[in-house]
Structure formats: structure tokens, C-alpha cells
């Protein structure tokens, strides 16, 4: 039985800051951000968007009545959770009107959470082939103003329906995963901003990739030639390229060219959104699928997932016949086209405008936010979500 991605949706907040302008404001050459880091625009989440609303908005565009009937498991990968006890998945379950006979849990392991969710979903479908699983990956990447991580922030979500006989990508066997306890990036529970050892995190990302790729080759006998493209977790778009370059020489020149070209296509969305942590790998996959028009069905795509702390995984999928008919290209084009630029000063103001930390009530103006699902405030320590479509 084939199991894999049946549908894939995406959402990013409607505001962004231009990286050239951020560079000027930070006294940095713009090319450092646009070439050295590889980012053009960075999504800026208004106070009315959090991990729950981002994920719910991403799911809203793909879920239909049949999905609502069949989804019996919601797995929410995030490191921007809003509660230490109640999972974000329960809120999304309610906001989407899914059936009550369902499981709903949150999964955390930095940027690896959604991959854990995807693989758990695969196991669930193997045991329950008639059901579907909703896998969500949503995050707000915050390092702080004027920090070296600032240029690698972002916000957004990816939602995937996982099922038997998937319409987009069938997941293959032979995953290789690897865990090692390291401190490259972490966020203690008292902090709303990440701590990071930037250079070390880059090194570890590459070391994890080399380890799982090496083991994958040994296990399967596959080589780079067997891949049409490899998608990477993209904290910033230069990062995956650094990892890809460490193995490119294993392949003949024509394969190197193909992988490099497809890598660039797989970074197009991420370059304009920034790091969305656990959804980033899947945003890269979406970018490849939607922006490379002649990507043939039957192509094998490699996927490298990395979540600091750290867990890495290499796995693969095969594109299904007519997969392009099941993408939401037009709606993503309009999402990007309708975004509004904010100045660096406005971005800083939005960044500092956080929910009260003392548990005070707050009412938020959701009319300024075009998203269908918004955070309308906090009342008695309970976040108040609104689906404007209801």
C-alpha cells in the first residue's frame, strides 16, 4: 500500500520586511543577507497570528468534507507552542470543525517536529488505511532585534493530509534517523527568543546530513543520480546549499547541474518567507513542486530534516501521477502577491508588541489582519480564536 502526502497547504502572515532594507538599517552590506544568507523577504507575524492560527489557516485551504470525515489524528509539530499542557492540535481541530473521534497531539523536537509527525502519520495509516491524518508544522522564528540570528527569522505554516494512495507524494521505506544531544540552538521555557551557537549549528546541520546520507547510501545502494532533487530543512536558503555542496562531487556533472538547479527552485518560497522552523522542509518541497513546472511524476525526491538539539532524518518520496493537479498554486501566488511590506521601524514595533506576560486580558483588532483565522485576544488566560468564515 502506498502512503504519503495527499494534500499540502501553506500559510504565511500578510506582512514582510525587505532584507535589503533590514541590512541597511543594521549597517550590513545587503548582499550579506541576500547572497550570504540567501533571503529576500522575511515574514512578519502580527500579534493576531500565533502558531495555532498559522497552522489553521494553512489547513483551511486544503481540508474538504471528505477529509473532515476521515481525519482521525491531528499531529501538530511546533516549537512555538502556546501552552505547556494543552496541545495546539486541539485548537486547530476545533477551528477546522474536524470530527470528535480523533486524536490530537503536539510534537516537539525543534525543526524536526513535523517530520516526526509525518512519520507517525505513516504508521497510523498503515494500521488504519481508511483514515487520514492531518500533519501541521507551524512556527514563529524569533532571535531578537539586532542579533546575528535576526536575518534568519520568519513565520508560517505548512499543513499536510497524509493518506493511503496519496495524490502528491508516496513516502518510501529506508528512512535514516540520527539523534545526538548537542546545544546548537534551544529556547528555555522562560524565553520567547531562541539562544543559538550559530557557527556550531551550521556545522552540526552539515555533519548530521553527511551522517544520514552516508548511511542511506550504504543501506539502499542509491546514489545522487537516483534523485531528481533533494529538499532540505531551510533555516535560510544558503544552509541547504552548503550541505548539498559537500556531496555534489559524488555525481557526474549533468546530475550536479540538475540538483543545483532544482535546489534553487526548492528555495524560492523560503527565500521570501524566512525560517518557519518545523515547516521549512515542507515549504521547500512545496516550492519545488509548484515552481518547477516540468518535474515529472515518478521522480524521487530526497528530504533532509534537521531539528536542533538535535535530530536529523533522511527520507525519500516518489511523485504520483498528475500530482500537479492537486497543488494550490494559484492561491499561493495570490498569497505572495497580496502581502504588504512594512518598514524596518514598523517591523521592530510589531516585534516588540507581544501579548501581556502577566496574564492580563487583552482584546486585539483582527480587522487589520486579512487571515480568515485570527487570535482575537486573551480572556481569563484563555486565547480567543476567531474563524471569520463561521
What element of type H or E holds 73? strand 71-77
Q: What is 203-248 written as a DSSP string?
A: HHHHHHHHHHHHHHHHHH---GGG-SEEEE--SSHHHHHHHHHTTG
Contact flag: residue 49 with ligand HMG (CB under 6 A): no
Instruction: Tell me which stretch binds ligand HMG (CB under 6 A): 54-62, 148-156, 214-222, 314-322.
Output: 148-156
Residue nearest to ligand HMG (CB): 36
Q: Is 245 one of the binding residues for ligand HMG (CB under 6 A)?
A: no
> Of the listed 14, 93, 106, 111, which one is catalytic?
111
Q: Under the criterion CB under 6 A, does residue 296 sit at the interface with ligand HMG?
A: no
254 touches 214 (CB < 8 A): no
CA distance 5 to 241: 25
Is 374 annotated in the active site? no
Least separation, in Å, of the C-beta of 200 and ligand HMG?
A: 9
When the beta carbons of 166 and 235 are compared against ligand HMG, the nearer one is 235
* Rounded Cα–Cα distance for residues 355 and 14 (Å): 19
Give the contacts of 382 (CB within 8 A, at least 6 positions apart): none
Q: Are 208 and 178 in contact (CB under 8 A)?
A: yes
Instruction: Say whether residue 202 binds ligand HMG (CB under 6 A).
Output: yes
Which residue, 29 or 333, is less far from ligand HMG as judged by CB? 29
Instruction: Give the range of 63-71, 82-90, 230-238, 328-336 binding ligand HMG by CB under 6 A.
Output: 230-238
Given phi > 0 = left and psi -120 to 50 = alpha, else beta, which region is 329? alpha
Q: Does 23 bind ligand HMG (CB under 6 A)?
A: no
Q: Which of 46, 77, 149, 154 binds ligand HMG (CB under 6 A)?
A: 149
Residues 6+ apart with CB under 8 A from 285: 8, 169, 231, 266, 301, 303
Q: Is 111 a catalytic residue?
A: yes
Active site residue 79: yes
The total number of residues written for the chain in this structure: 390
Q: Which of 14, 79, 124, 228 is catalytic?
A: 79
Q: Distance between CA atoms of 312 and 190, rounded to whole angstroms?
A: 26
Residues recognised as catalytic: 79, 111, 233
Q: Which residues bind ligand HMG (CB under 6 A)?
A: 29, 31-32, 35-37, 79, 110-111, 148-149, 151-152, 184-185, 196, 198-199, 201-202, 205, 233, 235-236, 238-239, 275, 277, 306-308
Amino acid at each position: 500500500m502506498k502512503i504519503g502526502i495527499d494534500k499540502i497547504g501553506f500559510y504565511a502572515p500578510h506582512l514582510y520586511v525587505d532584507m535589503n532594507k533590514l541590512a541597511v538599517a543594521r549597517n550590513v552590506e545587503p548582499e550579506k543577507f541576500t547572497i550570504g544568507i540567501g533571503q529576500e523577504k522575511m515574514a512578519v507575524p502580527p500579534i493576531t497570528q500565533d502558531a495555532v492560527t498559522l497552522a489553521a489557516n494553512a489547513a483551511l485551504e486544503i481540508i474538504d468534507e471528505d477529509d473532515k470525515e476521515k481525519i482521525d489524528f491531528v499531529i501538530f509539530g511546533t516549537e512555538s507552542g502556546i501552552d505547556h499542557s494543552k496541545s495546539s492540535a486541539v485548537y486547530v481541530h476545533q477551528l477546522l470543525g474536524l470530527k470528535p473521534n480523533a486524536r490530537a497531539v503536539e510534537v516537539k523536537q525543534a525543526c524536526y517536529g513535523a517530520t516526526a509527525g509525518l512519520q507517525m502519520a505513516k504508521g497510523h495509516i498503515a494500521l488504519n488505511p481508511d483514515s487520514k491524518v492531518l500533519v501541521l508544522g507551524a512556527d514563529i522564528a524569533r532571535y531578537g532585534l539586532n542579533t546575528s540570528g535576526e536575518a534568519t527569522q520568519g513565520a508560517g505554516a505548512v499543513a499536510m493530509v497524509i493518506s493511503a494512495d496519496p495524490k502528491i507524494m508516496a513516502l518510501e521505506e529506508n528512512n535514516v534517523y540520527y539523534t545526538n544531544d548537542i546545544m546548537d540552538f534551544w529556547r528555555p521555557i522562560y524565553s520567547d527568543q531562541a539562544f543559538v551557537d550559530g557557527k556550531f549549528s551550521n556545522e552540526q546541520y552539515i555533519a548530521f546530513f553527511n551522517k544520514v546520507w552516508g548511511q542511506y547510501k550504504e543501506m539502499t545502494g542509491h546514489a545522487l543520480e537516483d534523485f531528481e532533487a533533494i529538499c532540505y530543512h531551510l533555516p535560510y536558503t544558503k544552509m541547504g546549499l552548503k550541505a548539498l555542496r559537500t556531496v555534489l562531487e559524488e555525481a557526474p556533472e549533468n546530475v550536479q547541474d540538475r540538483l543545483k538547479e532544482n535546489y534553487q527552485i526548492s528555495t524560492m518560497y523560503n527565500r521570501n518567507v524566512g525560517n518557519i522552523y518545523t515547516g521549512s522542509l515542507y515549504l521547500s518541497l512545496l516550492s519545488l513542486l509548484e515552481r518547477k513546472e516540468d518535474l515529472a511524476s515518478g521522480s524521487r525526491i530526497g528530504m533532509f530534516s534537521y531539528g536542533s538539539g538535535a535530530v536529523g532524518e533522511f527520507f525519500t518520496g516518489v511523485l504520483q501521477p498528475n500530482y500537479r493537479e492537486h497543488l494550490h498554486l494559484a492561491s499561493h501566488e495570490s498569497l505572495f502577491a497580496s502581502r504588504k511590506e512594512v518598514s524596518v521601524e514598523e517591523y521592530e514595533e510589531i516585534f516588540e508588541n507581544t501579548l501581556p506576560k502577566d496574564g492580563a486580558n487583552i482584546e486585539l483588532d483582527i480587522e487589520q489582519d486579512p487571515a480568515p483565522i485570527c487570535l482575537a485576544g486573551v480572556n481569563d488566560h484563555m486565547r480567543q480564536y476567531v474563524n471569520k468564515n463561521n
